Amino acid sequence: MNEFINEYIRRFPSAWQLDAGDVIDNAVKAFSRDHQTGLRMIKGTVISSVSGIRWLLETIPWAVLILAVWALAWRQTKKWYVGAFYAAMMTFVGCCGFWKEMLETLSVVIAAVILCTALGFPLGVLLAMSDKANRVLRPILDTMQTMPSWVYLVPAVILFGVGTTPALLATTIYAIVPMVRLTSHGLLYVDAEMVEAARAFGSTRFQTLVKIQIPQAIPTIMTGVNQTIMMAMSMVVTCALIGAKGLGMEILVATNRVDMGKSLFPGVCIVIVAIILDRLTQAAVKRSEVIADG
């Protein structure tokens, strides 16, 4: 009797506890075995496109890159000293000795953002247009957003080994959600009378979408891109754990050696890059608002 109480009342019955970890583990491993050619192709594409971007960034002389940031910030904020400030911050990254690492990090971020936009925008449109898609995709998006990002890392490693490819995959999964959500949000919250007007003049659904809803939603969609960039930035750093090179790796190495001084500088550099990316895209959001509101 005592044993029964112990086993079934005081604790959660151990006989009911699942042990699915192995099952999933094996399934993922089996998948990776069975689809080796496909996975290898994906890996090849990812690696070549990321190194393509990195090659591009590295080919541009550092001074040109800094001047470009200056010019862009100047044009968007209409203040030359804002641009100068950003340029100074970028120069600081170079002085810390992390220019190459910054470009490595940036190339993964850029690749991830391109991928997120290319996949996230159509998904967002689908979500806004179809109730059914909305019902199916929403819980998936919730899961992607709330699941701790580490969880993606392990299957990504099993499928693609360590390095850039799993890092890009995990970053995309993590950072695509705001793109999808904000695209669909932007499309659904276009002024109701405007959409009614478009319909009343005989627009097809496609015409309403392309000529009215998307142009009106651009500021929200741009906010989505901005959020995606920021999330990609933070995830790429985490991805150092699975071998992504760049600023994150520097921090990881310094942390493992309990070297506070060495981990602080790449940390600051990450903040600098993030701030510059954020401000430049924020300014783009502002400008698109002006266009959408006439």
Question: What are the residues binding other proteins (CB under 8 A)?
Answer: 191, 193-194, 196-204, 207, 211-212, 215-216, 291-294
CB 97 within 8 Å of CB 89:
no
| Shortest Cβ 45–other proteins spacing (Å) | 36
CB of 283 to other proteins, least distance (A): 19
C-alpha dihedral (239, 240, 243, 244), degrees to nearest 10: 70
Cβ of residue 207: shortest distance to other proteins, in angstroms?
A: 5
DSSP SS3 for 17: coil
58 or 289: CB nearest other proteins: 289
Residue closer to other proteins (CB basis): 16 or 201: 201
Q: Which is nearer to other proteins, 100 or 199 (CB)?
A: 199
**What is the per-residue DSSP string for 24-65?**
HHHHHHHHHHHTHHHHHHHHHHHHHHHHHHHHHHHHS-HHHH
Considering the complex, state which of residue 34 and residue 196 has its C-beta at the smaller distance from other proteins. 196
Question: Considering the complex, what minimum distance in angstroms separates the CB of residue 199 from other proteins?
Answer: 6
Q: Quote the Cα angle for 230-94-54, to 5°.
A: 60
- Closer CB to other proteins, 12 or 201, in the complex: 201
Contact between residue 87 and residue 69 where contact means Cβ atoms under 8 Å apart: yes
CB of 187 to other proteins, least distance (A): 14
Per-residue tokens: 87: 């340029």
- Give the type of residue at 110: I
